[in-house]
Amino acid sequence: MHTINRLTELRQQVREWHRQGLEVGFVPTMGSLHDGHLALVKAARARSDRVVVSIFVNPMQFGPGEDFDSYPRTLDADCAQLLPLGVDAVFAPPVREVYPDGDQLSTRVEVPGLSDILCGSYRPGHFVGVATVVAKMFNMVAPDLAVFGKKDYQQLAVIRRMVRDLNFPVQVVGVDTVREGDGLARSSRNAYLSAEERETASQIYATLREAAEWLKAGPADVAALEAWGRERLDGRGFRTDYFSIRRQADLQPPAPGDRELVILTAARLGSARLIDNLEVSLPGPLA
């Protein structure tokens, strides 16, 4: 496994793999790896001849007052976890390699209709930062396929739309969320939780599951169920940004006849902002 810091070296390596007719899989991360990330790497390994994992804390997707400076940076420990998984290259560029003129002066990629809803309405500019850095990484790595987790469902939707709209020759693969034994989605930000908060955090998934059962039992008042979810989480000590039921395909509000839905939530607990979601396939059309 090679650790690469410079774009010229990365491109030289990937060109050689492509010259040999090998398929390159890519897993973009911000490091501080956990089992959720490792599941993405394993999925890429199963689908590709060569695997590149990027480790880059992207300044453009952090807003004012967010945790860019304190976000955990654990490159050596991350590489130790990746080594036994058959990763061929770790791309860990400095900020200046990705943003030569600084992220404030970089060309930006925006995905209208998906970037400013749900988390986008609470974190203005976040998904512009995500779409921009992923577009740049696709141009740098030139992968044949890229793997993302479904834990950040909105991020996955943004990237899929960007790939379609900008004609990137990249297959985007979504992988199911990896959870703790009590259902809490694995996240680097779980480290911010105190022991008491960590116990409370499991209520996010419990609330999603209960809401999903009500939806499947039907008929369901979507607005009332969303209000119930917010009140349920707030009553357990969260500060809920949203608890929303959307269509899986485009994250728009569901309409009568829809069957493939997703329940999404973002809630703050202590200093951590936690996100999660649960896909729901209704037995019959939504009334």
Domains contained in the chain, CATH given: 2-175 (3.40.50.620), 188-281 (3.30.1300.10)
Residues of the chain under the 70 pLDDT cut: none
- Entry pTM: 0.94
The confidence score (pLDDT) of residue 64 equals 87
The confidence score (pLDDT) of residue 212 equals 98
The confidence score (pLDDT) of residue 150 equals 97
Residues with a known catalytic role: 37
Q: Exposed, middle or buried by CB within 10 Å (0-12, 13-18, 19+), for 74?
A: middle
The confidence score (pLDDT) of residue 229 equals 98
Q: 254-262 contacts: CB < 8 A, separation 24 or more?
A: 254/222, 254/286, 255/286, 256/285, 256/286, 256/287, 257/285, 257/286, 258/282, 258/285, 258/286, 259/284, 259/285, 259/286, 261/215, 261/286, 262/153
The confidence score (pLDDT) of residue 43 equals 98
The confidence score (pLDDT) of residue 106 equals 86
The confidence score (pLDDT) of residue 72 equals 86
Please tell me the distance from the alpha carbon of residue 52 to that of residue 88, in angstroms, as a whole number. 6
